[in-house]
A = this chain, B = another copy of it.
Amino acid sequence: MSNRTSERNGLDALIHEPARLRMVAVLNECEVADFNFLLGATGLTRGNLSAHMAKLTEAGYVEEHKTFVGKLPHTDYRMTPNGRKAYKRYLADWKRLTQPEIPG
């Protein structure tokens, strides 16, 4: 049995959701990104970015760092090794799924 939290047809559902797919794709390039940067990079609302990020952090795919910049709260995010692995696996699974071998 795989350690993926939940799957649909072999695709990690946590990553397959378009909003999170975009978030993960961005984080995968960025190393570190803060909330506002991700807002722009994904086009999500704050509410949705927050809710989706909560799922990724609960899954252990992303880590959260909360600090203060001046007096304002500031949060940044980075992918964990597990997150990177899961994303790699997702990419491979997606490619497999979309390239079926049809028996003659």
Q: Which residues of A contact B (CB under 8 A)?
A: 8-11, 13, 16, 18-19, 21-22, 25-26, 29-30, 41-43, 91, 94, 97-100, 102
Contact = CB atoms under 8 A, between A and B. Distances in A.
Contact of A26 (B26, B41, B91, B100): B100
A43 B9 contact: yes
Contacts of A100: 22, 25-26, 29, 41
Contact of A30 (B29, B41, B94, B102): B102
A24 to B, nearest CB: 9
A21 B11 CA distance: 11
Nearest to A16: B18
Given A25-B98, A41-B100, 6 more contacts: A9-B22, A16-B16, A22-B97, A22-B100, A25-B99, A26-B100
A91 to B, nearest CB: 7
